[in-house]
Structures are given as C-alpha cells and as structure tokens.
Amino acid sequence: MQYGQPFLGCLPTFPPVTKVTGMDTLLPVASGGAAGPLTADELRELYSLMVAVRHLDTSAIAWQRQGIIPGYAPELGQEAAQVGSGYAVDTTRDFVFPTYREMGVARTMGVDMVAYMSTHKATWHGGLYNPLESRLAPIQAVVAGSVLHAVGWAHGQTLAAGSDATTDGGLGVALTYFGDGASSQGDVHEAMNFAAVMKAPVVFFVQNNGWAISVPTERQVAGGSVAARAAGYGMPALQIDGDDVVAVVEATRRAFAHARAGNGPVLIEAMTYRRGPHSTADDPGRYRSLDEERDGAGADPLERLRQRLLADGIADEAFFAEALAAAKAEEEQIRTGIQALGSRPGTEMFDLVFQETTPALQAQAANWREESEHV
C-alpha cells in the first residue's frame, strides 16, 4: 500500500518501448529467421498474401451483389494489419480469436477459405472450418465476445506449463482481435485486468479503423487511444501504423516474444481505416463524406508495400502480375467452392447442441423430421 504522502500524485509513467522500424523509414531486409528483420522472400510472401486478401475481399462484395452470399463484412484498407499480425502466428502452438472481420488473418494462417466464407453464405454461424485444427476460434459476432476467451486459453497455457513456463521455447500465445468500438465493452476491461493480474500470454490486437459502424473513434474512445489504456493495467502497449505491414509483423512478433517468455500480456493498437462500408448492409454516405473518407484513409497499404518493394528492388512488375493472377485463380476456386456448398442438413441443428444429447432434444428432432422432412 502506498501511504505516507497525503497526496500521492497521479499515474506511473510507462516505460518507453523501443521503436519498431517500419518500411516507410527503411525496409529492413535480412537473411535472419523469424526473430530478425524480414527476408526478401517473406516480404514478397506478405505482398502475395495482401493481394490475395484484397482480391477475395473485394470479390466477396461482388458475390453479395450477385446473390451468391447474403452478406459480408469487408476489410478494405485493413489488409496490412490483418496479414501482418496473422503472419506472426505460430500455428503449431498459438491460438487466434477473431471477430467477424478477420478474413485476412484466416487467409494468412492458411485456413480453408471455403469453410471460412461459408459463414457469410449463412451456412453455419462461426464457419465450417475446424477451429482446433486451424488454430482459429470460430468467427465471433458478439463485439468483444471472445477477448476473455483468449485470456482463459492463455491462462491454460500457463497452467499446462506448470513451473516450467519457459521450457519448450516458451508458452503458446493467444492473439485476440477487436475493434475501436469493441474497446468500449466491459468485457475488454475485464480481459485486460485478468490477463495482467495473471500474467497470461495474450496479445490484444486492436484494429482501430476509425469507425464502429457510424460512430467515429473520437466519440467512442475517450482519451483517443486504446493503447493508452494499457498503462493503467501495467501492461506494455504498442501503437503502430497498421497500414505498414512490416511494422505490423515486427510489432506483433515482438509482442509474441514478450508474452511467450512468460512476461504477460501486450496490447497492440494498429491505426488503420475502414475504407468500405461496415457491411454490405451499410450505407457510409449517411455518416461520412467521400472527402472525409479519403482524408482518413491515407495511402493504400497494398500500394505502399508495392512502392517499397519496387523502390528497393525486391519485386518487379512481373512478380506483382503473377501475384494478382494467383489471387484471381484462388478467388475463383473459393467462389466455386462457395457456390457448390449446399445447406447443412437440418438434423445438425439438434445433433451439434451437446456432446451428450438429451431425450427431450431427440424427441424434438424426431418431431421435426416428421413434420418438416415427412419421415
């Protein structure tokens, strides 16, 4: 307890964090592994991923207009934040908790994209992919709904490691995504406090994209920054340019290393911009002008990477064309898969509720079969 002074003053100052070098100052190319700067191969891979995500994302909006899927939540402009952070995940031991807008993360982690996109086809809430195998929790429609899950999962890693928290190369880390809007939810506070009290290996990854549907960040996040909240929990925070994929990869890797070593949680606030509508049902013209949109969005993260790769001679136009062609082929394959995807059988409604079903539920299933399937 802090006694002795009648007025104890305010606020411990947060220890400064070394800057993460991003591509706009200097593109850090090296031959080192995951711990060091990015290699040329990695940078090209990041570009290919971003193109694939961009193309799939914009195509999904077209799918919705064409009636292939009933709705979609685009991530236009957030490709660097998503691909960069997903790129830092070790899918042999980490676990990722997405919202409804992390298609780019899923793609980067290698999740089956037909299974992923099935949620937007209204096939199955949460998606058809296997979350355990893909290390990606089901798609989460409750804003801030899974942030606490990440803390519980992470604490489970601490418990499983017992006293040897740092053997085996360290702990599995939970990476949880949420938005500037979600940061207002009580669950996010509870999650940060729990994680920091328990020193759980969690990386809180906020995509501050400027908007929560129609509400801008300045009417949402008091104080102006989600990262600024971390100090109050004694937790390190990085506020990064979320449109700089190199900065994102490096910040996320740094945060993973911190958490993996048993030092507790880290918060990353990736500053980005939601260039498109909130969802295909949204009409942004009602709450922001095109001028505001252009000003807020700044430079396109994909184009920024392209320019740097060109300038530094890491990739050429042929590479970009190839990447785009691959993205197009991939989208076509996913679209075909989605179009071929039938409805799930109605019996799954009943069969998947429990591990051990109940007589009452079986009776209802029988009744349903009789009345709806006429068997």
Ligand X SMILES: Cc1ncc(C[n+]2csc(CCOP(=O)(O)OP(=O)(O)O)c2C)c(N)n1
Considering only 79, 94, 102, 180, the residue that binds Mg ion (CB under 5 A) is: 180
Cα 351 to chain centroid distance, Å, stands at 30
Residue 233: C-alpha distances to residues 94, 157, 198, 263 (Å) = 23, 21, 11, 14
Interface with a second copy includes 274 (CB under 8 A)? no
Q: How far apart are CA 283 and CA 270, in angstroms?
A: 25
Window contacting ligand X (CB under 6 A); options: 14-22, 166-174, 211-219, 255-263 = 211-219
Which burial class, exposed, middle or buried, applies to 63 when counting CB atoms under 10 A from its CB (0-12, 13-18, 19+)? buried
Pattern 190-209, a second copy, x by CB under 8 A: x-xx-xxx------------
Pattern 133-172, ligand X, x by CB under 6 A: --------xxx-----------------------------
Q: Nearer Cβ to other proteins, position 123 or 252?
A: 123
Q: Nearer Cβ to ligand X, position 134 or 272?
A: 272
Helix H or strand E encompassing 349 = helix 347-351
Residue 28: CB atoms within 10 A of its CB come to: 17
Interface with a second copy includes 223 (CB under 8 A)? yes
Interface with a second copy includes 23 (CB under 8 A)? yes
Interface with a second copy includes 8 (CB under 8 A)? yes
Interface with other proteins includes 298 (CB under 8 A)? no
Residue 211 touches which of other proteins, ligand X, a second copy, none (CB < 5 to 8 A by kind)?
ligand X
How many residues in total does the chain contain? 375
Interface with ligand X includes 107 (CB under 6 A)? no
Tokens of 58: 């914009």
Residue 344: CB atoms within 10 A of its CB come to: 13
Nearest distance, CB of residue 24 and a second copy, angstroms: 5
Give the 3-state secondary structure of 205-225: EEEECCEECCEEHHHCCCCCC
Interface with other proteins includes 122 (CB under 8 A)? yes
Interface with a second copy includes 29 (CB under 8 A)? no
Interface with other proteins includes 121 (CB under 8 A)? yes
Interface with a second copy includes 16 (CB under 8 A)? yes
Interface residues for other proteins in 128-187 (CB under 8 A)?
A: 128, 130-133, 137-138, 141-143, 145-157, 159-160, 162, 174, 181-182, 184-187
DSSP 263-289: ---EEEEEE----S-SSTT--GGGT--
Contacts 24+ apart (CB under 8 A), 158-162: 158/198, 158/199, 158/200, 158/201, 158/262
Interface with a second copy includes 7 (CB under 8 A)? yes
Q: How far apart are CA 165 and CA 24, in angstroms?
A: 37
Q: Nearer Cβ to ligand X, position 211 or 350?
A: 211
Residue 156 touches which of other proteins, ligand X, a second copy, none (CB < 5 to 8 A by kind)?
other proteins
The residues that are catalytic are 274, 278, 287
Tokens of 36: 């060091």
Residue 128 touches which of other proteins, a second copy, ligand X, none (CB < 5 to 8 A by kind)?
other proteins
Helix axes 79-87, 40-65, angle to 10 degrees: 130
Helix H or strand E encompassing 241 = strand 237-241
Window contacting ligand X (CB under 6 A); options: 43-51, 123-131, 207-215, 343-351 = 207-215
**Mapping DSSP to helix (H, G, I), strand (E, B) and coil, where does residue 179 land?**
strand
Q: Which residues bind a second copy (CB under 8 A)?
A: 1-14, 16-17, 19-25, 184-190, 192-193, 195-197, 210, 217, 219-225, 227-241, 243-244, 246-247, 251, 271, 273, 296, 298
